[in-house]
């Protein structure tokens, strides 16, 4: 599954003193300035940029662009589950290799033989997202904010794919971190490991599904990401001190008792 979806790709060449009026997009926008310089407004803040700078713009953020030196700019709009912060990132010795790779990917985008429109391959878009993540990671001014978005993304991913086998090493690579780095960031934020967080999600979902007395326990085990009913049973008993079947009986008995108690109170009233 791709981490991002392409909306639009194009290349602009602006002359000195060209001005792009304030506007906004419903998607993320990445601008890479192959050459030239200018000034960009992001929301209520204004920044200057130069050759090989990258500008990341969040969805629905008002922005403009004023050209100070003739420029060539690559622009790609995309949607992503990973939240990115708006920023202007100038090349420095810490990030220049990542910015160079971004430029190489954008300048290598091919065209459809029939339509002549640019074609950005899925792997190119995913690579761009990883490089953006690495840019955030080396920029001290936005690192802390970005790390929170990493944790939010991981939690959302686990919620969405709770029934699937999740390889945390591959997931970490997908967002531009080593597994050790991802593990550390997550635990510092949540106080537990990613794996324990996932198990807690699976336990909560299993408890909810067990309310349905017509649903097979083997189906619940599969839906919650357990490889077999036996493993599900052992895990559930360890956490709840009851087997899934016993838990279901307790839940329904408690429910019937509560209903009977309410009916009795109504009759007495």
Contact 83, 3 (CB under 8 A): no
Lowest mean pLDDT among 92-96, 152-156, 237-241, 265-269: 265-269
Q: Is the pLDDT confidence value at 51 over 90? A: yes
pTM: 0.60
Antiparallel, parallel or unpaired: β 87-89 and 54-57: antiparallel
Task: Give the closest residue to 186 by CA, choosing from 151, 153, 159, 162.
Answer: 151
CB 27, CB 6: distance < 8 Å:
no
pLDDT band at 251 (very low <50, low <70, confident <90, very high): confident
CA distances to 84, 129, 240 from 185, in Å: 17, 19, 29
**Which is more confidently placed, 229 or 156?**
229
Is the pLDDT reported for residue 254 higher than 50? Answer: yes
**198 contact partners, CB below 8 Å, separation of at least 6:** 158, 162, 166, 225
Whether the pLDDT of residue 32 is over 50: the answer is yes
Using 50, 70 and 90 to split pLDDT, how confident is the model at 1? very low
Give residue 160's pLDDT band: very low, low, confident or very high (50, 70, 90). confident
For residues 66 and 189, the model is more confident at 66
What is the structure's pLDDT at 67?
96
Q: How high is the pLDDT of residue 177?
A: 79
**Exposed, middle or buried by CB within 10 Å (0-12, 13-18, 19+), for 25?**
middle
How many angstroms separate the first and last alpha carbons of the chain? 59
pLDDT of residue 267: 58
Q: Give the chain's mean pLDDT.
A: 86
pLDDT at 145: 62
Neighbours of 10 (CB within 10 A): 12
pLDDT band at 83 (very low <50, low <70, confident <90, very high): confident
Helix 140-160 and helix 179-190, axial crossing angle in degrees, nearest 10: 90
Binned at pLDDT 50, 70 and 90, residue 142 comes out as low
What's the CA gap between 202 and 189, in Å, rounded?
20
Q: What pLDDT score was predicted for residue 38?
A: 95
Judge whether residue 3 has pLDDT over 90. no
Contact criterion met (CB below 8 Å) for 175 and 182? yes
Q: Tell me, what's the pLDDT at 18?
A: 94
């Amino acid at each position: 599954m791709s981490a991002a979806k392409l909306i639009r790709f194009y290349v602009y060449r602006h002359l000195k003193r060209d001005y792009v009026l304030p506007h906004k997009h419903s998607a993320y926008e990445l601008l890479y300035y192959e050459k030239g310089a200018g000034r960009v407004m992001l929301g209520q803040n204004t920044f200057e940029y130069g050759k090989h700078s990258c500008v990341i713009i969040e969805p629905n953020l008002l922005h403009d662009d004023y050209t100070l030196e003739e420029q060539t700019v690559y622009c790609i709009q995309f949607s992503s589950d990973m939240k990115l912060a708006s920023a202007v990132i100038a090349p420095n010795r810490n990030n220049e290799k990542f910015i160079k790779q971004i430029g190489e990917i954008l300048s290598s985008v091919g065209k459809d033989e029939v339509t002549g429109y640019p074609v950005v391959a899925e792997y190119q878009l995913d690579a761009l997202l990883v490089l953006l993540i690495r840019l955030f990671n080396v920029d001290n001014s936005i690192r802390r904010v970005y790390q929170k978005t990493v944790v939010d993304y991981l939690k959302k991913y686990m919620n969405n794919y709770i029934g699937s086998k999740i390889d945390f090493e591959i997931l970490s690579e997908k967002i531009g971190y080593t597994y050790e780095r991802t593990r550390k960031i997550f635990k510092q934020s949540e106080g537990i490991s990613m794996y324990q967080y996932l198990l807690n999600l699976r336990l909560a979902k299993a408890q909810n599904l067990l309310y349905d007395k017509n649903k097979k326990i083997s189906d619940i085990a599969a839906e919650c990401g357990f490889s077999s009913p036996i493993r599900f049973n052992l895990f559930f008993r360890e956490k709840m001190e009851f087997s899934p079947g016993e838990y279901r009986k307790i839940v329904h008995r408690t429910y019937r008792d509560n209903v009977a108690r309410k009916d009795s109170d109504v009759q007495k009233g």
